[in-house]
Amino acid sequence: MKRRDAIGSSPLHLSGELHVTGRTRFVADEPRPDGMLFVKCVGSPFAHAKILSIDPAPALSSEGVRAVLSAGDIPGENQIGHAFLDEPLFPVGEAMWLGQPLAIVVADDPEHAREAAALVGVECEELPPVLSIDEALAKGDLYAPERRIVRGDVDRAWEKCDHVVEGVVGSGSQEHLYLETQVCRAVPGEDGETTLFSATQATAEVQEIAARVLGVDRKDVTVDVRRLGGAFGGKERAATIWACLAALAAFKTRRPVELRLTRHEDMRWTGKRHPFESRYKAGFNRDGRLVAYSVELNANGGAYADLSMAILERSMLHADNAYHIPNARIVGRACRTNLPPNTAFRGFGAPQGVFVIETVMDRIARRLGLDPIEVRARNAYREGQETPYGQKVHEPCHPGLLACLKKNADYTRLCRDIGKFNSNNRRCKRGIGVVPVKFGVSFTSAFLNQASALCWVYGDGTVSLSHGGIEMGQEVNTKVAQVVASVLGVTLDRIRVETSNTKRTGNASPTAATTGSDLNGNAARIAAEQILARLRPVAAGLLATGNRRKPAADRIMFQKNKVFDPRNPRRFVKFEALAHEAYMRRVALGAHGFYRTPGVRFDRAKGKGTPFYYYVFGCALAVAEVHLLTGNVRLERVHIVHETGKSLNPAIDKGQVEGAFMQGYGWATFEELVHDAKGRYLADTTSTYKIPTIKDLPGVFDVDLVVRNRKHASVFGSKGIGEPPFIYGEAAYFAIKDALRAIAPAGAEIDLPMPATPEAVLEAVEMIKQQEVASGQWPMENGDPA
Amino acid sequence: MTALEYVRGRRGLTGTKEGCGEGDCGACTIAVGERKIGRVVYRAVNSCLCPAVRLHGKHVVTIEGLADGATLHPIQKAVLENHATQCGFCTPGVVMSLFCLFSERRKPTDAEIRDALEGNLCRCTGYESILTAAKAVKGPAVPPHLKKAAALMESLPARPLTVVPGVGDEPFCGYHVPDNPEKLFETLELPGGGDKCRIISGGTDLMVAAKVHGRPFIHAADISWIPGLPHIGEMDGHISIGALTTFAGILESQNVKERLPALHAAALIGSAQVRNVATLAGNIANASPVADGSVALLALGARLVLRSASGARKLPLDEFFLGYKKTALGDREIIETVEVPLGWTQSSFIKTSKREAVDIASVSSAVAVDIEKGRIRKARISLGGVAPFPVLSEKAAEHLVGKKPSEKAFEEAGRIAMSEVTPISDVRGSAAYRKLLVRNQMLMHWRRMFDETP
Ligand SMILES: Cc1cc2nc3c(=O)[nH]c(=O)nc-3n(C[C@@H](O)[C@@H](O)[C@H](O)COP(=O)(O)OP(=O)(O)OC[C@H]3O[C@@H](n4cnc5c(N)ncnc54)[C@H](O)[C@@H]3O)c2cc1C
Ligand code: FES
Ligand code: FES
């Protein structure tokens, strides 16, 4: 099989062969250690409850049960909060969400644990739950005082605008549905040590909090992660609670334990994407240019703070999306409700913020009868313009990317064809949606922008590489290995990327915020460069043997496992020979690389700063076909133009764009999470909550990666990729809305909730028809548009 | 014990994954090979819903078995080289579904690939790379090492050697494999801990109920080894469909496709993995208000042949459903055959669900009409998802009788049907949405049966 290694080429997935042969080991695939016990949770029966008593006795006498543990059994602190210390491992007094663990049962097999869990006597008094943003806002129950980002003076700007529009838009929640459910194996060691094989995106955080719960030092807890079966943010913070429960069970029983959620439990008990309710007002001129934009972003945070404030912050920092706004006021609130704590999900608030201003762009275009792409291009950032929070935007390229998008989609013809289709079809209508994206890369909590890597070159020239990034399908391992391969001039098969382990890469930031390859790639690059620097003089010596003069050490080339003087490339030393020689000469062949992103900072109180190291730019166009009798939607075509800097691996980046788009498409359309008045999610199984299948693939799915040399980019000129393309999925929503315009009177506002489920679409169709009937305009006797 | 627990737990073959445990994700897909007239047919099966006993005498291929030593299977190679795997959790299931597809079709079409993979969820790739990979597969689907292994089946008895009195493992404490009707009816006498002993056929409803919703059944009687239970055949003006006929079997029937289009359309339930094991009889007996098969059969005027120890009786499907999940089936009675009258001029089945593939209907409906001299002589209209069980809309059907099949007539029928129903609101749709769908589906039936204009 062909292997390509260089930066910018697309070598195969490092674990690909394991994946396709089934030899990959996820946490639950590792052989079970002898005597392993299994954990089941006993959840709160109500979304909000006063806990009266918990009686473990009946469960304790059930077959196979080793322990029943609750708050009183915690040796350390009953606190698993991170940025906010507001979340107990087991609630005491008051349970805050339906299913919140009140106790755990540890038994010798999963079945016994399940049976016993049902026997634990839980006495609770139901309290009225708060579930919606409106209720929480009315109660004033916010996680922190509202945040603001202000530029110019919107209040004085309105009167100067030719047009002003206002409205309220919501966006829906979303279940992560990573295919591997939450899982942790905890193994007690000697001397009070515990090792956690946790499916987490955040090793250091799990280590810190498990140590806190167990009442031990961080040095006593090791967290080890090989890979995750998908995460998408859902295992950044949300994996911690399960890891801590497993840790507690192992610590108390002195036996290895496994806690693995079933899909049903996972869907009921884990937090999801934050639903938002936002109010906006936008003023613009005749030419479609935004003059003023005021928006209140309200997020439903669920029962504990979790990452809600950071997510809210990112939504505020992306409220401008790709557009320069002279006067802006962005207000953000995250409120507490009795749902499982909502948490990180690809995009981390940005998609919710972007959705509001894209709704505005859509309205501007309709109001003025302008082309929606043109309106967006006119408002797009130009070089050096400032965002509302004061960061200069460098190397923006939206007018160019949008032009490219039009070309790829053959836009003029497409519009014409759609017009023709719509006049020839009574039952189906097509529409176009366009969404540009500007996405800021870096953690907005500046301190998290650090990473380390540990690199060893062994005496045989092979390489062991540990870094803090978590492999979860985004192939951070492949990319980081490519970086090291290119620095050391070795092929990828010489490199083993090790598990992410707190012993080898301590204090690792979560693998999140699209920074995985940037941070860890840079740390690994620095580690490898140190080793390279030490190898150079040895290589110079080796290449100098005989009567040749010694080559300058810093000119020696390292390529494809060969080391040579570029002036005489035919004479070379094998990398393994060099490594062996270096070892014999007692050269240090291990190095630790540390990287911190320069220049990022953000002042939360002032709402100003340069939170992002750089921006990612791109745009998407979707054509949707709406069936007017059922509300079902089919994606006809999708075109995406995405600028990657100098992509480390175009095949990976393309896969990320495609996968993210489909996830965003699901969010914007049929992934719907409704809960009842008691706080129970109604779609809590895979048979009721639907994510896209292969049949939802658009007929044409064209992804154009634009590779550019950029000053404002990261490792080897590349840019992060994970989250931004999620937002492209919103194009599908706007395409549906556009299709509905085909049956509405010109210029009419279309009322379409998000997600645009078939039910929502059909309701919108009916609404349009009724308005028409009321105004006597309905053209056809059978109630269908001509 | 499920087949999934068996391969993972007992055999240590952890390549097969559990993603949902209820038949919806396909991560647990395995290939089950059976001898069929001189060759081996591999069918994709969701191992999470498959009782392990079912594997007896079959050639089971899991992801670990595809590669021949270090030589990757052509499908594995294509998936790897086209970057069609990211986190890898779905990959074994995807590869196994493709294996079953390619073992039957050398060069499958795009549509066949999508059909074969609709039951495999992938949250990472967005499927585009998977589709590309599937199109790039080059080489024989069943390599020599698998052929050799399959030949071992010849020396195995086709049925488990003994009745399995109680395999002990969840979700059943007694899993019985009766090999003749007498034994079956004896088994059905067994007490079932408050519940009667349950018949298990494809298990796609029963296993989900047992696993996701606890362990309500103690004994189960597997009817799939009873000889003489008929499959599909035609006689005396009807098509008769035996208890063991799966939806995949119905889809393969050219007779059904041509003469009972409503049933053919309804047979596209679930995913390939589900259709391969789920039976029509189970669909009816399960009595779900949105069972696709039941809805189609109701419009088609099907009759059931029910058999118990004391003999057989016939019952029109109209009289079978009594209430929510309540039927006229006796405690120790089985659905032996379903008889579907032929002679409908046209029929059609339509279901609307949130997602196109592998989703339960919000509302489904079927229409069957008999046309004489250009006018509708007889019509039946059935509705699913609007009442506690599939129902007929007699008034709407009456409206059609005597009329030419026109858009107007069907639209009015839709209005009537809509006014007749009082659906409830639930996770699959509000009452108002369901009523709209009832109305609109009638127009769609007209289009499907009589109208060719776009
Ligand atoms: C992922 C998935 C998707 C699905 N999608 C759809 C869909 O789109 N549309 C749809 O209608 N259904 C769908 N289903 C449900 C469908 O698979 C079942 O209704 C199926 O037809 C039941 O047949 P079975 O052979 O699997 O029955 P089993 O699960 O074996 O049995 C179901 C019930 O029928 C009884 N029973 C079975 N056979 C007989 C018999 N011969 N005589 C008397 N009683 C009997 C059993 O005791 C049990 O109560 C889906 C299921 C899954 C898991
Ligand atoms: S585990 Fe999802 S279908 Fe079996
Ligand atoms: S590759 Fe992760 S679910 Fe498919």
Question: Per residue in B329-367, pLDDT tens?
Answer: 998 899 999 999 999 999 999 999 999 899 999 999 999
Architecture of domain B3-155: Orthogonal Bundle (1.10)
Does the Cβ of B450 fall within 6 Å of ligand 3? no
Q: What is the pLDDT of residue A645?
A: 96
Q: What is the pLDDT of residue B192?
A: 56
What is the rounded CA–CA span in Å between residue A660 and residue A725? 5
The whole-number pLDDT of residue B157 equals 63
> Each residue of A3-40: pLDDT tens digit?
456 788 999 999 999 999 999 999 999 999 999 999 99
B124 CB neighbours in chain A (<8 A) are 230, 473, 655, 659
By most ligand atoms within 8 Å of CB, the mutation choice from B47, B201, B284 for ligand 1 is B201
CATH 3.30.365.10 domain locations along chain A = 32-128+176-269, 276-444+605-775, 450-596
**Going by C-beta distance under 8 Å and a sequence separation of 6 or more, which residues neighbour residue A639?**
A405, A408, A409, A620, A621, A622, A700, A702, A704
Percent of chain B with pLDDT over 70: 93
Confidence grade of residue A1 (pLDDT, cut at 50, 70, 90) = very low
pLDDT at position B161: 46
Q: Is B125 in the pocket of ligand 3 (CB under 6 A)?
A: yes
The pLDDT of A249-271, averaged and rounded, is: 98
Give the pLDDT confidence of A544-587 residue by residue, as tens digits: 866 667 889 999 999 999 999 998 889 999 999 999 999 999 99
Nearest CB to B22; choose among A181, A652, A687: A687
Judged against a pLDDT cut of 90, whether residue A739 lies above it is answered with yes
B163-222 maps to CATH 3.40.50: no
pLDDT at B217: 64
Mean pLDDT value of segment B279-300: 97
pLDDT number for residue B264: 97
pLDDT at B453 (0 to 100): 62
pLDDT at position A244: 98
Could you say which ligand is closest to the alpha carbon of residue A655?
3
Q: B398: which 2 tokens?
A: 């009456």
C-beta of residue A535 within 8 angstroms of C-beta of residue A254: no
The answer, yes or no, to whether ipTM is higher than 0.95 is yes
Contact (CB<8Å) B20/A697: no
User: Are B85 and A19 a contacting pair at CB < 8 A?
Assistant: yes
Q: What number is the average pLDDT over the span B91-104? A: 98
What pLDDT digit, counting tens, does each position of A177-195 carry? 999 999 999 999 999 999 9
Say what the pLDDT of residue A548 is: 62
Task: Give B18 Cα–ligand 3 centroid separation in angstroms.
Answer: 13
Residue with tokens 């009786």: B313
Please give the pLDDT value at position B225: 84
CATH homologous superfamily for the domain B232-449: CO dehydrogenase flavoprotein, C-terminal domain (3.30.390.50)
Q: What average pLDDT does the segment A331-339 reach?
A: 98
Residue ranges of chain B that CATH labels 3.30.43 = 163-222
With an 8 Å Cβ cutoff, is B87 touching chain A?
Answer: yes
Tell me which residues of A are annotated as active site: 723
CATH assignment of A450-596? Answer: 3.30.365.10
**For atom 4 of ligand 3, which residue has the closest CA?**
B122
* Residue A766 contacts B where some CB pair is shorter than 8 Å: yes
What is the pTM for the complete model shown? 0.97
Distance (Å) from the C-alpha of residue A284 to the closest C-alpha of chain B? 37
* pLDDT: which is higher, A730 or B57: A730
Cβ neighbours of B444 in A, within 8 Å:
629-630
Closest ligand by atom to B208 CA: 1
Q: What mean pLDDT value characterizes chain B?
A: 92
Ligand approaching nearest to the C-alpha of B125: 3
Class for domain A32-128+176-269, per CATH?
A: alpha beta
**Secondary structure of chain B in HEC code, one letter for each residue:** CEHHHHHHHHCCCCCCCCCCCCCCCCCCEEEEEEEECCEEEEEEEEHHHCEHHHHCCCEEECHHHCCECCECCHHHHHHHHCCCCCCCCCHHHHHHHHHHHHHHCCCCCHHHHHHHHCCCCCCCCCCHHHHHHHHCCCCCCCCHHHHHHHHHHHHCCCCCCCCCCCCCCCCCCEEECCCCHHHHHHHCCCEECCEECEEECCCCCHHHHHHHCCCCCCEEEECCCCCCCCCEEEECCEEEEECCCEHHHHHHCHHHHHHCHHHHHHCCCCCHHHHCCCEHHHHHHHCCCCCHHHHHHHHHCCEEEEEECCEEEEEEHHHCEEECCEECCCCCCEEEEEEEECCCCEEEEEEECCCCCCCCCCEEEEEEEEEECCEEEEEEEEEECCCCCCEECHHHHHHHCCCCCCHHHHHHHHHHHHHHCCCCCECCECHHHHHHHHHHHHHHHHHHHHCCCC
- Quickly state the pLDDT bin for B198 (edges 50, 70, 90): confident
Does domain A276-444+605-775 sit in CATH 3.40.50.300? no
Please tell me the predicted confidence (pLDDT) of residue A5: 64
Q: Which residues line ligand 1 (CB under 6 A)?
A: B 23-24, 198-206, 208, 223, 243, 269-270, 274, 278-279, 281-283, 285-286, 291-293, 329, 334-335, 358, 360
| B164 pLDDT above the threshold of 60 | no
Contacts of A501 (CB under 8 A, 6+ apart): A203, A222, A223, A224, A225, A466
pLDDT tens digits, one per residue of A449-467:
999 999 999 999 999 999 9
pLDDT at res. A588:
98
Q: Tell me which residue in A425, A475, A766 faces B454 most closely, judged by beta carbons.
A: A425
User: What pLDDT, on the 0 to 100 scale, is given for residue B172?
Assistant: 59
Residue A174 near residue A364, CB atoms below 8 Å = no
CA angle, A34 as apex, A28 and A40 as ends, to 5°? 50
Asked whether residue A85 carries a pLDDT value surpassing 70, the answer given is yes
For helices B91-104 and B110-117, angle between their N-to-C axes, nearest 10 degrees: 130
Please check the confidence at residue A706 and state whether its pLDDT lies above 70.
Answer: yes
**pLDDT per residue over A640-690, tens digit each?**
999 999 999 999 999 999 999 999 999 999 999 999 999 999 999 999 999
Using most ligand atoms within 8 A of CB, pick from B87, B98, B127 the residue to mutate for ligand 3: B87
SS3 A27: helix
Average pLDDT over residues B414-435: 96
Give the residue with greater pLDDT, B153 vs A202.
Answer: A202
Q: Whose CA is nearest to atom 3 of ligand 2?
A: B23
Q: Is the pLDDT of residue B162 over 90?
A: no
A547 at interface of B, judged by CB pairs closer than 8 A: no
Residue of A262, A694, A762, A769 to mutate for B, most B C-beta atoms under 10 A:
A694
Across the range B151-163, mean pLDDT stands at 65
How far is the centre of ligand 1, averaged over its atoms, from the C-alpha of A131 (Å)? 36
